[in-house]
């Protein structure tokens, strides 16, 4: 046996076996390497994790924003809805009241016409005044409405109806009636003063002041207009307007017993008031 030849063969066999083992291992690992997903990579996993966190945070923010918006908008919608519902109810109530009154007066007027005894506007006004003086306000109201149905341009009937509403503390109907009279006769100072007085009772001093100023424009020398404007100007702390109007009242009606009282009230107003 040639031992020297064996010396070369053994290393060659070992080399071949090793090569075969390496090839076998490589072939087995190729499918695993080729099937590797990027999810297994740490960097990519971190990126996905950050993206998920951002998306989750954004989703929470959107949910919180929606809830906050809902908490704000829903109460506002409820309040607005309540206001409109209340206003609609008031308007419906007024409408029904007028319709009922008109129907009642129309029926009575029709019955009178059939009998040949339809009352005149003058007679209806007399009866309304009589009921008003007696304190029978509902009967007076019906008579004034009957007069209005008979003559829709009767300022006297509207004025009497407004007095009835004022006496009944029905300011809504009173103001509506007075404003309608003012439309029929824009130069009626008395109606403007009545409107101003109604606003004053409700504490609406700016509206009151405006009504009195319009009355004064129509009757600049009318002591009643001057008197009314002085009082509300003092309430509104309009010192210069109050003093100027008082000076005019002193010229027009120097015997007015309110002059000293008004002057005292004006003098007591703060000196810093410059309106």
pLDDT higher than 50, residue 113? no
Instruction: Identify the DSSP state of 264.
Output: H
Q: What pLDDT, in 10s, does the model give residues 1-21?
A: 444 444 556 666 566 666 666
110 φ/ψ angles, rounded to the nearest 5 degrees = -65, -40
Burial class (CB in 10 A: 0-12, 13-18, 19+), 225: buried
119-185 and 203-275 agree in CATH topology:
yes
More confident residue, 115 or 17: 17
pLDDT higher than 90, residue 220? yes
- pLDDT-derived band of residue 253, with 50, 70 and 90 as boundaries? very high
pLDDT higher than 80, residue 67? no
- Average pLDDT, integer, range 255-265: 92
More confident residue, 123 or 55: 123
The token pair at 104 is 């009642």
The token pair at 56 is 């989750």
The token pair at 239 is 């010192």
Tokens 């439309």 correspond to 183
Query: Which option is the CATH number for 119-185: 1.25.40.10, 1.10.274.100, 2.120.10.10, 3.40.50.300?
Result: 1.25.40.10
Percentage of the chain with pLDDT > 70?
56
- Average pLDDT, integer, range 84-104: 54
User: Could you write out the three-class secondary structure of 92-160?
Assistant: HHHHHHHHHHHHHHHHHHHHHHHCCCCCCHHHHHHHHHHHHHCCCHHHHHHHHHHHHHHCCCCHHHHHH
**Distance separating alpha carbons of residues 150 and 156, to the nearest angstrom:** 13
pLDDT at 114: 39
Delimit the domains of the chain by residue range. 119-185, 203-275
**Distance separating alpha carbons of residues 46 and 219, to the nearest angstrom:** 87
- pLDDT-derived band of residue 244, with 50, 70 and 90 as boundaries? very high
Tokens 């007028």 correspond to 98
**Distance separating alpha carbons of residues 266 and 145, to the nearest angstrom:** 44
Instruction: Identify the DSSP state of 235.
Output: H
Range in 113-122, 159-168, 212-221 with the lowest mean pLDDT: 113-122
- pLDDT-derived band of residue 204, with 50, 70 and 90 as boundaries? very high
Architecture of domain 203-275: Alpha Horseshoe (1.25)
- pLDDT-derived band of residue 150, with 50, 70 and 90 as boundaries? confident
Instruction: Identify the DSSP state of 204.
Output: -
């Amino acid at each position: 046996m040639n031992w020297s030849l064996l010396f070369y063969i053994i290393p060659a066999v070992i080399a071949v076996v090793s090569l075969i083992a390496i090839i076998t291992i490589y072939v087995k690992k190729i499918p695993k390497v080729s099937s590797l997903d990027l999810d297994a990579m740490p960097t990519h996993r971190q990126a996905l994790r950050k993206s998920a966190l951002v998306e989750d945070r954004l989703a929470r923010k959107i949910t919180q924003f929606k809830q906050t918006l809902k908490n704000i908008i829903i109460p506002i919608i409820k309040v607005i809805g309540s206001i409109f519902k209340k206003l609609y109810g008031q308007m419906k109530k007024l409408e029904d009241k007028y319709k009922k009154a008109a129907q009642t007066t129309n029926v009575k007027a029709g019955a009178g016409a059939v009998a040949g005894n339809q009352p005149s506007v003058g007679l209806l006004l007399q009866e309304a005044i009589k009921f008003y003086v007696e304190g029978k306000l509902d009967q007076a109201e019906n008579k004034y409405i009957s007069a209005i149905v008979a003559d829709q341009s009767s300022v006297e009937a509207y004025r009497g109806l407004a007095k009835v509403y004022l006496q009944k503390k029905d300011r809504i109907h009173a103001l509506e009636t007075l404003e309608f009279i003012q439309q029929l006769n824009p130069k009626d100072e008395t109606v403007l003063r009545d409107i101003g007085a109604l606003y004053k009772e409700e504490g609406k001093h700016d509206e009151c002041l405006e009504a009195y100023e319009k009355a004064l424009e129509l009757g600049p020398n009318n002591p009643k207009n001057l008197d009314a404007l002085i009082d509300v100007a003092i309430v509104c702390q309009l010192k210069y307007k109050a003093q100027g109007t008082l000076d005019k009242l002193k010229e027009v009606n120097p015997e007015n017993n309110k002059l000293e009282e008004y002057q005292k009230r004006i003098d007591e107003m703060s000196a810093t008031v410059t309106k």
